[in-house]
Amino acid sequence: MAKELLKGNVAFAEAAIRAGCEAYYGYPITPQTEALEHMAKRMPELGRVFLQAESEVAAINMVYGAACAGVRVMSSSSSPGVSLMMEGLSYIAGSEVPVVLVDIMRGGPGLGNIAPSQGDYNQIVKGGGHGDYRVITLAPATIQELIDLTVEAFDIAEKYRCIVVVLADGSIGQMMEPAELPPMQDVRKREDRPAWSLTGAKDRDPRVITSIYIDPFEEEVFNLKLVEKQKEIEANEVRFRSLHLEDAEIAVVAYGTAGRIAQSSVKQARDEGIKVGLLRPISLYPFPYDEIGKVADQVKRILVVEMSGGQMLDDVRLAVNGKVPVDFYGRMGGMVPLPDEVFEQIQELNEKANA
Amino acid sequence: MTDKKMAEALIFSKPESLTDVPTHYCPGCTHGVAHRLIAEVIDEMGVRENTVGIAPVGCSVFAYNYFNMDFAEAAHGRAPAMATGFKRVNPDMNVFTYQGDGDLASIGAAEILHAAGRGEMITVIFINNAIYGMTGGQMAPTTLPGQKTTSSPLGRDIETHGFPLKMCEILSQLDGSAYIVRRSLHDAANIRKAKKAVRQAFEVQRQGLGFSMVELLSNCPTNWRMTAKESLVWIGEHMVPVFPIGDFKVHPAIVESKKG
């Protein structure tokens, strides 16, 4: 298929449709509303389900209900809306049904604003809902990556029967770029719904989907099952991109839009003869701890750049484990760092590293 | 007929839609009656194999252990949203929620209101016993004025805590509601009427007429600090005057079919 000029929010919605998403439940919130609007138009055209819920609380529970039926289902929202979904996400995690959610992050806390931010890292990656669970978190830096990761999210969610969140900031949701959409997949046939799904207890024992284990012994057994699954996820699903790390003396770690900006700054610094490389995590859970640990063995200093006050920073520090100093540069409140700002930080880092 | 044959005649059994699991409900609690009515109706309609129930948070959180059919367990108050999500991708299935008063009228007030407003093709069985049972007898949105609970120890003071919510009266105002009725489980005559209403509600769903809900006035002998018998009398004497038994919304198509 040819490339076309696509807005992020429309791109991921259409990508989800083409991945065979059978139902979308959502609630309007800037800066992701175009996704809901696209779904409102396209899903009925295809005989699929679109429903605007009364709240994000209801939307995620509608998603939960449809997921119990064994269909591909998703929602999308932005930071304050995702806060409201945390209850439902915890129940979904506790019920092991596959669900895809796209979070187009905006400035916060509170009502904040509608400008791009990476302030939801902790909420998503560290699990904003109660209990011991993790959600696979994929962070695109381009519209093409947003499309590809959204499609992949459905496969991964079903593989592990878990939640996959595509975590992007408002600029990725709002900007337009040339990108290629995947081919159209039909929705799953009724007879192909998974063996755990609720299809009516005809010629079989009833199935129950629940997250309650009233006996602590049984709850722990279930918790351990989730932990085992997490180990599998951590072994198989780490994703990242690196640039100019081969001979790097200093390294930048940044994801999503911050990673893309840092890429420009790293190229600029390379032109100036600074031996700097970039590691851009794409999976935020599972986090590329080992890969960043290896970078720390090689470089003198590491700079973390985020559109937050320093949330992924904690994970980078865990990965670096004190081997080298970790510096931080962040813009918040909906402010996006300019490549020149990050370039200046790289220059300073280089001076410190070679002092 | 010989004496032996008479001795073998089966005159009463558990509905197929119930499992053979002893319930955890307190002695004298009407949850068991409500479960049985639903199960009998589902058996009689022959829809057990095409039914999915959504259990709430509350005393009936384990309802799925007692119903012999597919079930999912919702978060507190969210059963109507979950049922909506499920039903929309399975429009030909029979979907019901089973919810208490704290679940439906308090924390889930938004979800029930909008499910009714959308005319969601689901059936809601609403157990109103005017108290939070599972957490040990706290004030509910349906607790009567003056009623003592552990969180209204001097009796519900309407100056402080306002008035009980009357969900049938509220939901019947919505155009999406097709069948909204209140029945009671406090004596045999009322239980028979309750069963008819449950059947009608599921028929409304089958016919695609809209949202259906049967509110069942129920007891809580343990938290009301009464014997089972006293609690049933209390429903009739105290709850029925506040929550009158009756039909609050009946879709014209139902009336027509009854006439016809």
What residue ranges do the domains of chain B occupy? 14-259
Chosen for mutation from B67, B88, B95, B113 (greatest number of chain A CBs closer than 10 Å) is: B88
| C-beta atoms of A23 and B114 within 8 A | no
Sequence-distant (6+) residues with CB within 8 A of B29 are: B59, B218, B219, B220, B221, B222, B228
Which pLDDT band holds residue B131 (cuts at 50, 70, 90)? Answer: very high
Residues of B with CB under 8 A from a CB of A: 48-52, 54-55, 61-62, 64, 67-75, 78, 81-90, 93, 110-111, 113-114
pLDDT of residue A55: 98
Give me the architecture of the A241-353 domain, per CATH.
3-Layer(aba) Sandwich (3.40)
| Sheet strands side by side (includes A276-281) | A240-243, A276-281, A250-253, A301-306, A326-330
**A315, HSE (Cβ side, Cα atoms, 13 Å):** 22
Cβ of A35 under 8 Å from any chain B Cβ? no
Widest pairwise Cα distance in chain B = 69
Task: Give me the residue from B73, B85, B90 closest to A25, CB to CB.
Answer: B85
DSSP conformation class of B60: G
Q: What pLDDT, in 10s, does the model give residues A204-249?
A: 999 999 999 999 999 999 999 999 999 999 999 999 999 999 999 9
Instruction: Please give the ipTM for the structure prediction.
Output: 0.97
Q: From A31, A36, A71, select the one nearest A51 (Cα to Cα).
A: A36
Which pLDDT band holds residue A127 (cuts at 50, 70, 90)? Answer: confident
Six-digit token string for A122 = 């902790």
Distance between first and last Cα of chain A: 52
Six-digit token string for B198 = 């449950």
Q: From A34, A198, A42, select the one nearest A114 (Cα to Cα).
A: A34
pLDDT of residue B255: 81
Q: What pLDDT, in 10s, does the model give residues A248-306?
A: 999 999 999 999 999 999 999 999 999 999 999 999 999 999 999 999 999 999 999 99
Give chain B positions within 8 Å (CB) of A65. 54, 72, 81-87
pLDDT of residue B259: 72
B51: closest chain A residue by CA: A200
Report the C-alpha gap between B171 and B166 in whole angstroms.
9
Mean of pLDDT values over B196-207? 98
Q: From A87, A96, A47, select the one nearest A68 (Cα to Cα).
A: A96
Which pLDDT band holds residue B120 (cuts at 50, 70, 90)? Answer: very high
Sign of CA dihedral A151, A152, A155, A156: negative
Which pLDDT band holds residue B111 (cuts at 50, 70, 90)? Answer: very high
Q: What pLDDT, in 10s, does the model give residues A83-122?
A: 999 999 999 999 999 999 999 999 999 999 999 999 999 9
User: Position of tokens 């007429």?
Assistant: B209
Same fold across A4-197+223-236 and A241-353: yes
- A residues 84-123 near B, CB within 8 Å? 87-88, 91, 95
Distance between first and last Cα of chain B: 41
* Amino acid sitting at position A97: V
User: Position of tokens 């396209």?
Assistant: A42
| C-beta atoms of A210 and B55 within 8 A | yes
B14-259 topology per CATH? Rossmann fold (3.40.50)
pLDDT of residue B6: 61
Sequence-distant (6+) residues with CB within 8 A of B130 are: B101, B140, B142, B143, B144, B147, B164, B220, B239
Which pLDDT band holds residue B3 (cuts at 50, 70, 90)? Answer: low
pLDDT of residue B9: 86
Q: What pLDDT, in 10s, does the model give residues B22-53?
A: 999 999 999 999 999 999 999 999 999 999 99
Sequence-distant (6+) residues with CB within 8 A of A289 are: A315, A318, A319
Which pLDDT band holds residue A144 (cuts at 50, 70, 90)? Answer: very high
pLDDT > 80? residue B258: no
pLDDT > 60? residue B1: no
Q: Would you say B16 and B40 are in contact if contact means Cβ atoms under 8 Å apart?
A: no
Q: Would you say A59 and A77 are in contact if contact means Cβ atoms under 8 Å apart?
A: yes
> Average pLDDT of chain A?
97
Q: What pLDDT, in 10s, does the model give residues A297-349?
A: 999 999 999 999 999 999 999 999 999 999 999 999 999 999 999 999 999 99
β-strand B177-184 against B246-250: which pairing, if any? antiparallel
What residue ranges do the domains of chain A occupy? 4-197+223-236, 241-353
pLDDT of residue B7: 67
Report the C-alpha gap between A115 and A247 in whole angstroms.
36
- Length of chain B, in residues: 260
Which CATH number fits the domain A4-197+223-236, given the four candidates 3.10.450.100, 3.40.50.970, 3.40.190.10, 3.30.450.20? 3.40.50.970
* Amino acid sitting at position A227: V
Mean of pLDDT values over B201-212? 98
Cβ of A56 under 8 Å from any chain B Cβ? no
Mean of pLDDT values over B83-93? 98
pLDDT of residue B260: 61
pLDDT > 60? residue B2: no
Q: Is residue A199 classed as helix, strand or coil in its secondary structure?
A: coil
